[in-house]
Structure 1
Amino acid sequence: MSEAKIASVNEIPSDLLKQLMPSHPEDVLIAFDDFEYLMMRYESAILEVRTKLEILNSELTLTQDDSPISSIHSRLKKPASIYEKLVRQGNDINLRSIEENLNDVAGVRVICAFVDDIYKVAKMLVQQDDITLIEVKDYIKNPKPNGYRSYHMILEVPVFFTHEKQPIRVEVQIRTVAMDFWASLEHQIRYKKDLPQYKADEIAAELKACADTIADTDRRMLAIREKLGTRGDKGKKK
């Protein structure tokens, strides 16, 4: 079940609403309907990607006794975040600008047990002939300065509606359970307000050290699995 939520009209910043309805400044609902329809299309793209991932995981579980995906989460970018990012990037504020300039309105996060599962899942997903790979950022091989590790892909997936087929972009992040644990805690800590600079620097250093420890643990756990030879190939079921 998708965790994405379509916004209510009260969640859309007033400046965004005004830009979305230049022909009918008195009618907020016209702008909301257009925006809600766009969000529905992004939510549909999320469902497409989630379904593909779930099918791949089910197949590997059956044929190889291997479930590379531990869990799948999804989200739609909040209206306020959409507006803020358009402004920050200097983009126009309208529906077309959202589609053309923002690649992360629809997001899917895939949690794997082991690092090599990340690359396996990513490879299987982009090999599907209706998926277009737009961009890859490998923050596992090239971690961010703060220690953040994850594998990011921007994909374009076709979604079929009543009268058209529409390619829609989805950001897919794939990480291990340990990476996800660190990222969740780092996100909470990073947004604490009113920290003196020296304390913020101390915390940043501690978080980086924790990220390095977690990365080492991921590598050691993978090595243990490889020694045990836990992967099998059950072959095709009859």
Structure 2
Amino acid sequence: MDKDYLKTRFEVEEFEKLKKKLVRYECALDIVRTQLSNLEAYYNNFEPVNPIEHIKYRIKSPESIAGKLKKKNLPITAEAAEEFLSDVAGIRIICAYAKNIYEIVEIIKSQEDFKVVSEKDYLKNVKESGYRSYHMILEVNIGKLFGEKTCRVEVQLRTSAMDFWATLEHKVRYKYDGKIPERLSNELQNCSRQINELDERMYLIHKVVDMINQSEVDIDRIGY
């Protein structure tokens, strides 16, 4: 990774164009935010447990957008950003357990205000680095005021443990300009496997506690 890419800037005219486009992304983000807020309200009021721990929303900064365009050897223009980048607007949903992620994915797919145009399951198909997450690209229609334009919004779904790992891996990758030493890379992969095992065991404990609460089963009788 070239750290100098963060110094890349849009020319003044392109920057003004980009600012207007970012308004559209904000609107798209708000549409998805509303649906997710409704979902959280439903879980909090009609279900015993809310599987969503928290949600983060962000719009990439112009510097970050310019840097990514440069990294992809694309022109640093507002039009190129709109055409080639799918993560200008981003949402990260942190779930309590890995199995909750697929439940939320199906709910997102069922929404009428936007459609899923691509998805990548890095839970079942773990990246070589050890990265685990579920990625979706949504296409959101932002309405008549904007000429029925659509904007893409990236959604990432992870557990808290996966999010902690991804944050650490990102810092390490940046430190070594994307070329992580083999020994450190192996340690990160090992941590990823252990985190996955921990997620599974925590979910098992959660289910056991549910069973006990529902039927007052003796924990020794169910062999845990």
Tell whether the structures are fold-level matches, with TM greater than 0.5. Answer: yes
Which deviates further from its counterpart, 132-141 or 87-96? Answer: 87-96
Match of 1:224 in 2: 205
1:210 pairs with 2:210: no
How far is the alpha carbon of 1:193 from its aligned partner? 4.1
Match of 1:201 in 2: 182
Q: How does 1:44-123 map to 2 (within 5 A)?
A: 44-123=27-106
Q: State whether residues 55 and 93 of structure 2, in contact with CA within 8 Å, keep that contact through their aligned partners in structure 1.
A: yes
How far is the alpha carbon of 1:167 from its aligned partner? 1.4
Aligned mates of 1:114, 1:204 — CA distance in 2: 25
The Cα offsets for residues 144-179 of structure 1, whole Å up to 9 and x where unpaired, read as 111110000000112236353321100000000110
Unaligned runs of 5+ in 2: 1-5, 215-224
1:43 pairs with 2:26: yes
SS of 1:154's partner is strand
Residues matched between the structures, number: 208
Q: State whether residues 7 and 67 of structure 2, in contact with CA within 8 Å, keep that contact through their aligned partners in structure 1.
A: no
State the identity as a percent: 39
How far is the alpha carbon of 1:191 from its aligned partner? 1.6
TM-score, L = length of structure 2? 0.83
Unaligned runs of 5+ in 1: 1-10, 18-27, 233-238
Question: Pairwise CA RMSD of aligned residues?
Answer: 2.5
How far is the alpha carbon of 1:31 from its aligned partner? 3.6
Q: Quick one: structure 1 residues 155 and 65, their matched pair in 2 at CA, closer, same or farther if it must change by over 3 Å?
A: same
Which deviates further from its counterpart, 82-91 or 32-41? Answer: 82-91
TM-score, L = length of structure 1? 0.79
Which deviates further from its counterpart, 95-104 or 186-195? Answer: 186-195
Q: Quick one: structure 1 residues 206 and 36, their matched pair in 2 at CA, closer, same or farther if it must change by over 3 Å?
A: same
